[in-house]
Chains A and B, each alone.
Chain A
Amino acid sequence: MDLASLIFWIIAVVLVAAALVVVGQRNIVHSALALVVVFAMASGIFLLLNAEFIAIVQILIYAGAVTILILFALMLTRIAGQRVTNPNARPLAMAVALVVSALVGLGIIFAATVSQFAQSAPAAQLLQGTVCSLPSNNVIAIGQLLYSPSCYSYVLPFEIATVVLLVAIVGAIVISREEE
């Protein structure tokens, strides 16, 4: 077993365990803290896959911002005197949920393991525009792919994403604004 595999297995086990804690805990704050572990471990997986930038972003946005957001929300929606802050559904519902999610997961895993992925591109070059060679630095490469004007880049979705963020801001403000 090489080092990468070892790291992978460690991270994977912790990741799954933390995720199970998130869905298993009956105290919502513990769940939230376990969620931070999930995010951090996922970031580790990203590092393993040569996605340094995303690993950092993952830490910054998920482990930082989103978790804080969730914790704030938890504080704001606290119900006094409630012992179980993160209750489960009824046993029957849980059983059904287990079956359903197991089916979905197993289906995907089964399909993924027996299927083959495309190994070669079609004969003709179909991508529009020039594909520039990317630098080995992950951050620079992603920057170039996000908004390079001359090479193949995802500038349109990037611009749309800005509007999505604006909509989210406007929406969050409108929703949470106290009635005038």
Chain B
Amino acid sequence: MYGLYEYAWLILAAPLASFVVIVFGTRMADLWSRHHGQTAQDYAAYLREADPAFAAWEATRGAGGHAEQQHAAQAAGPAEGTAHVGHGGEAEHQEHHGDPYDDDPTVPYLTPWAKLSGYVGIVLMLFACLYSWLLLFASLGLLPGTPRLPEGGITLFSYTWGSDAAFQPYTIAFHLDNLALAMTVVVTTVSLLVQFYSQGYMASSAGYARFFAYLSLFAFSMLTIVFAANFLVIFVGWELVGLSSYLLIGFWINKRAKPAEERPAPASAALQAFVMNRIGDVGFILGIMILFATTGTFDFATLAGSGPHGVAQAFAGNQALLTLAMILVFCGAIGKSAQVPLHTWLPSAMEGPTPVSALIHAATMVAAGVYMVARTFALFSAAGPQAFGVVAWIGGITAIFAATIGLTQTDFKRVLAFSTISQLGYMFVGLGVAGTEIGPGAGMFHLFTHAFFKALLFLGAGSVLHALHHAMHREVQDMRLMGGLARFMPITAATWLIAGLSISGFPFLSGFYSKETLISLAFEHGDYALWAITLVTAGLTAFYMFRAFFLAFGGKGGALGGIWGGPYRGEGTPHESPVTMTLPLVILAVFSIFAGYWVGFFQYLDPHAPLLDLGKLFSDGLTWLGVALSLLGIAWAYVLYCAVGWERVHKVVEANAVLRFFHRLLLHRYYVDTLYDWIVRYVVLGLCHVAAAFDRFVVDGVVNGVASLVMELGSGLRRAETGKVQAYMTVFFGGIAVFAVVVFVLATLR
């Protein structure tokens, strides 16, 4: 009956299949063919011919590298100057910037097999995407002959490890319902577009095939979370997402840190993301364990049900523990969705390739936290208002916290990073204030619309970076080195503008519907403080988004009063990106406009929830208050960055002590990173020393004591093995005799 739906596991299998095919198929073939045909030297020679940039870079590498080394030696000072040979590499490591090639250029980039692996990934993802859209339409009842999904969803796959009753909870189960389906559509669509886009973006980067393998793995991991039917599977997906994000953020493994721009090396950024997530995961695991220990099951449906294993019965009279458990579970979401105070990894994660950032921010990683809360919404409901309060307040604080930081950042991608954090905060506010009557709809709706325009923003940013990379032959992310790009790359600029308007909540674009709904929900719910926070954040969002837009694409003296074009502050001539990159932008722009018109979204997720009441939304004065604040933000951005110009703004800020203080504070992200640095350096390492001492003297003492006891005993006992065959026989029969005596005694005693 649900035949069409029952094959939804194919969506999950497709990225896994492409991962396997790429890793074990094309990648192997690539390595083989390279080994037998094309050597690295051959490829370098080829590159010298084909890419003038490479030849130029190679020429500078010989001389420039040397110059840099001398420079480093000078920087290190006379005391260390003598040790220059030994530390040369390290110094160069520190000082290195502006390298056009972040990886070994002699490694071939785009072999035919690598190209094929890209196609494999894209084709399989296209299949998954189309299938998920088909299912979406079917579940909306738009497909004749196919029923809607039943309310509880259907089980796609279930494998219980062990038939013993003790193993019953340890089930690998996948489950499809409307919530999962909506998320699947987002994940597959964004993944598909990102993969398509990567064809262009990654064309000049080493490890093209590997990149596609990782992207597929990433999509698979996220889909595992989406389809998970119990905490066990969601946790596996959770960690897989962590792994694949680690691999992707650190994709340019050879790239160095850029201290001048406060940019860490990708490798350490990846590590930071991983560690931060682990901190959240500690809470997550503890929460799951409390739930499991009390109810004896991991299954979402069972937990939410009213049976003896449901939280309602199992935690009866122990509401506080359930609340604690759910807050701990939410800790996982804090880490994964980069909420305060575990948000610092997300800006650092910008060191990954930009398509990865788009994927992380729009669909796969940070969305996992929101999705998990939505998935366990019933449990949060059971836990009561305190749990929801924590969710909403963490979200609210994060929203305004990140938005204020976003005001001052100059790194193009980092602005977007903080905007993501802020928007995720919105989603948690939506989940926290919605209450049981609306369900997870509000938060998920914003996740849904946000996915498209945030992906668009990132891919647009990637397009800009790609263009500047080609124009200047080095990596440029500082917005102060851009400007007026709209004239050079109109498609990128236009789509970016749409996304910017959408995220700012400009009326009739998708962001408007989801965001204003959230804000008005906060008001209706009676959380006036949260309402105020979200309202102010909306204005701030509009401001920094358009600050970024004007700095990058517009500027004083451009067309339309500086909105379009303006003086370009970089070198070279940037060009519009290839069609592989602009096509996804256009598609995403369409989604950014229209995604908000799915008025039945709440009801789709939860049949008992009301429709999104557009009439009420438009007629409510509070809505227009929010819009007005957003427009004010846009206007203020226009005034500062088109009418006045950023240099003068900067001067004014520097001249005023109060403004300067806030600017510093925000520019340094409230010094949270510094604080963490300090904590790690002094508190954690201090504790580590204590732990090490404990380990050395107490734990090792006990272990070594036991071990030496065993050793002593063993050395004694091995002497029994004298090598004399008759001694063995004696022991053999002695054993029999002793056993016989024992048994006789026992038999007599009985």
Q: Are chains A and B touching in the complex at the 8 Å CB cutoff?
A: yes
Name A residues whose Cβ lies closer than 8 Å to a Cβ of B: 89, 93, 96-97, 100-101, 103-104, 107, 110
Shortest distance from the beta carbon of B5 to any chain A beta carbon, whole Å: 56
For residue B738, which residue of chain A has the nearest CB? A103
For residue A110, which residue of chain B has the nearest CB? B744
A103 — which chain B residues lie within 8 A by C-beta? Answer: 737, 740-741
Docked CA distance A89–B733 (Å)? 17
Name B residues whose Cβ lies closer than 8 Å to a Cβ of A: 726-727, 730, 733-734, 736-737, 740-741, 744
Interface-central residue, B726, B727, B730, by most chain A CB under 10 Å:
B730
Docked CA distance A51–B736 (Å)? 31
For residue A103, which residue of chain B has the nearest CB? B737
B740 — which chain A residues lie within 8 A by C-beta? Answer: 103-104, 107
Shortest distance from the beta carbon of A55 to any chain B beta carbon, whole Å: 30
Shortest distance from the beta carbon of B720 to any chain A beta carbon, whole Å: 13
Asked whether B726 lies within 8 Å of A89 as measured between CB atoms, the reply is: yes
4 nearest CB pairs, A to B: A103-B737, A107-B740, A100-B733, A100-B734
A110 — which chain B residues lie within 8 A by C-beta? Answer: 744
| Given A103-B737, A104-B733: 14 more A-B contacts, CB < 8 Å | A93-B726, A96-B734, A97-B730, A100-B730, A100-B734, A100-B737, A101-B733, A103-B741, A104-B736, A104-B737, A104-B740, A107-B737, A107-B740, A110-B744
B736 — which chain A residues lie within 8 A by C-beta? Answer: 104
Shortest distance from the beta carbon of B600 to any chain A beta carbon, whole Å: 74
For residue B732, which residue of chain A has the nearest CB? A100
B727 — which chain A residues lie within 8 A by C-beta? Answer: 93
Asked whether B741 lies within 8 Å of A96 as measured between CB atoms, the reply is: no
B737 — which chain A residues lie within 8 A by C-beta? Answer: 100, 103-104, 107
6 pairs, CB–CB < 8 Å, chain A vs chain B = A100-B730, A101-B733, A103-B741, A104-B736, A104-B740, A107-B741
B741 — which chain A residues lie within 8 A by C-beta? Answer: 103, 107
Shortest distance from the beta carbon of A90 to any chain B beta carbon, whole Å: 10
For residue B733, which residue of chain A has the nearest CB? A100
Docked CA distance A134–B273 (Å)? 87
Shortest distance from the beta carbon of B149 to any chain A beta carbon, whole Å: 60
B726 — which chain A residues lie within 8 A by C-beta? Answer: 89, 93, 97
Q: A104-B737, A107-B737 are in contact. Are A96 and B730 (CB under 8 A)?
A: yes
A89 — which chain B residues lie within 8 A by C-beta? Answer: 726
Shortest distance from the beta carbon of A74 to any chain B beta carbon, whole Å: 19
For residue A102, which residue of chain B has the nearest CB? B737
Docked CA distance A107–B133 (Å)? 82
A96 — which chain B residues lie within 8 A by C-beta? Answer: 730, 734
For residue A89, which residue of chain B has the nearest CB? B726
Shortest distance from the beta carbon of B388 to any chain A beta carbon, whole Å: 72
Interface-central residue, B734, B736, B744, by most chain A CB under 10 Å:
B734
A97 — which chain B residues lie within 8 A by C-beta? Answer: 726, 730
Docked CA distance A106–B107 (Å)? 83
Shortest distance from the beta carbon of A130 to any chain B beta carbon, whole Å: 39
A101 — which chain B residues lie within 8 A by C-beta? Answer: 733
B734 — which chain A residues lie within 8 A by C-beta? Answer: 96, 100
Asked whether B733 lies within 8 Å of A107 as measured between CB atoms, the reply is: no
B733 — which chain A residues lie within 8 A by C-beta? Answer: 100-101, 104
Docked CA distance A99–B696 (Å)? 51
For residue B735, which residue of chain A has the nearest CB? A100
Docked CA distance A93–B724 (Å)? 11
Shortest distance from the beta carbon of A157 to any chain B beta carbon, whole Å: 26
Shortest distance from the beta carbon of B741 to any chain A beta carbon, whole Å: 7
Docked CA distance A100–B729 (Å)? 10
Shortest distance from the beta carbon of A164 to any chain B beta carbon, whole Å: 23
Shortest distance from the beta carbon of B373 to any chain A beta carbon, whole Å: 68
Asked whether B744 lies within 8 Å of A93 as measured between CB atoms, the reply is: no
Shortest distance from the beta carbon of B734 to any chain A beta carbon, whole Å: 5
Docked CA distance A114–B469 (Å)? 100
For residue A97, which residue of chain B has the nearest CB? B730
Docked CA distance A11–B737 (Å)? 29
A93 — which chain B residues lie within 8 A by C-beta? Answer: 726-727, 730
A107 — which chain B residues lie within 8 A by C-beta? Answer: 737, 740-741, 744
Shortest distance from the beta carbon of B747 to any chain A beta carbon, whole Å: 10
B744 — which chain A residues lie within 8 A by C-beta? Answer: 107, 110
Docked CA distance A74–B734 (Å)? 30
Docked CA distance A169–B342 (Å)? 77
Shortest distance from the beta carbon of A98 to any chain B beta carbon, whole Å: 11
Shortest distance from the beta carbon of B749 to any chain A beta carbon, whole Å: 16
Shortest distance from the beta carbon of B742 to any chain A beta carbon, whole Å: 11
A104 — which chain B residues lie within 8 A by C-beta? Answer: 733, 736-737, 740
Docked CA distance A103–B744 (Å)? 12
For residue B734, which residue of chain A has the nearest CB? A100
Docked CA distance A93–B725 (Å)? 12
Docked CA distance A23–B736 (Å)? 22
Docked CA distance A36–B727 (Å)? 28
Shortest distance from the beta carbon of B392 to any chain A beta carbon, whole Å: 77
Docked CA distance A96–B727 (Å)? 10
Shortest distance from the beta carbon of B748 to any chain A beta carbon, whole Å: 11
For residue B739, which residue of chain A has the nearest CB? A107
Docked CA distance A100–B734 (Å)? 6
Docked CA distance A143–B393 (Å)? 95
Docked CA distance A93–B733 (Å)? 13
Shortest distance from the beta carbon of B732 to any chain A beta carbon, whole Å: 9
Docked CA distance A120–B737 (Å)? 31
Docked CA distance A97–B727 (Å)? 9
Shortest distance from the beta carbon of B438 to any chain A beta carbon, whole Å: 74
Docked CA distance A93–B740 (Å)? 21
Docked CA distance A110–B734 (Å)? 17
Shortest distance from the beta carbon of B110 to any chain A beta carbon, whole Å: 62
Shortest distance from the beta carbon of A19 to any chain B beta carbon, whole Å: 17
Docked CA distance A75–B695 (Å)? 67
Shortest distance from the beta carbon of A77 to any chain B beta carbon, whole Å: 16
B730 — which chain A residues lie within 8 A by C-beta? Answer: 93, 96-97, 100
For residue B740, which residue of chain A has the nearest CB? A107
Interface-central residue, A89, A96, A100, A104, by most chain B CB under 10 Å:
A100
Shortest distance from the beta carbon of B612 to any chain A beta carbon, whole Å: 80
Shortest distance from the beta carbon of A107 to any chain B beta carbon, whole Å: 4
Shortest distance from the beta carbon of A133 to any chain B beta carbon, whole Å: 40
Docked CA distance A47–B727 (Å)? 37
Docked CA distance A104–B744 (Å)? 12
Docked CA distance A5–B734 (Å)? 34
Docked CA distance A13–B727 (Å)? 30
Shortest distance from the beta carbon of B393 to any chain A beta carbon, whole Å: 79
Shortest distance from the beta carbon of A102 to any chain B beta carbon, whole Å: 9
A100 — which chain B residues lie within 8 A by C-beta? Answer: 730, 733-734, 737
Shortest distance from the beta carbon of A95 to any chain B beta carbon, whole Å: 11
For residue B731, which residue of chain A has the nearest CB? A100
Shortest distance from the beta carbon of B558 to any chain A beta carbon, whole Å: 96
Docked CA distance A110–B744 (Å)? 10
Shortest distance from the beta carbon of B371 to any chain A beta carbon, whole Å: 66
Docked CA distance A93–B727 (Å)? 8
Shortest distance from the beta carbon of B745 to any chain A beta carbon, whole Å: 12
Docked CA distance A24–B733 (Å)? 20
Docked CA distance A101–B732 (Å)? 11
Docked CA distance A73–B726 (Å)? 20
Shortest distance from the beta carbon of A135 to any chain B beta carbon, whole Å: 40
Shortest distance from the beta carbon of B13 to any chain A beta carbon, whole Å: 52
Docked CA distance A97–B726 (Å)? 9
Shortest distance from the beta carbon of A83 to any chain B beta carbon, whole Å: 21
Shortest distance from the beta carbon of A5 to any chain B beta carbon, whole Å: 30
Docked CA distance A107–B726 (Å)? 21
Shortest distance from the beta carbon of A94 to any chain B beta carbon, whole Å: 10
Docked CA distance A101–B733 (Å)? 7
Docked CA distance A92–B740 (Å)? 23
Shortest distance from the beta carbon of B646 to any chain A beta carbon, whole Å: 93
Docked CA distance A174–B733 (Å)? 31
Docked CA distance A171–B730 (Å)? 28
Shortest distance from the beta carbon of A114 to any chain B beta carbon, whole Å: 10
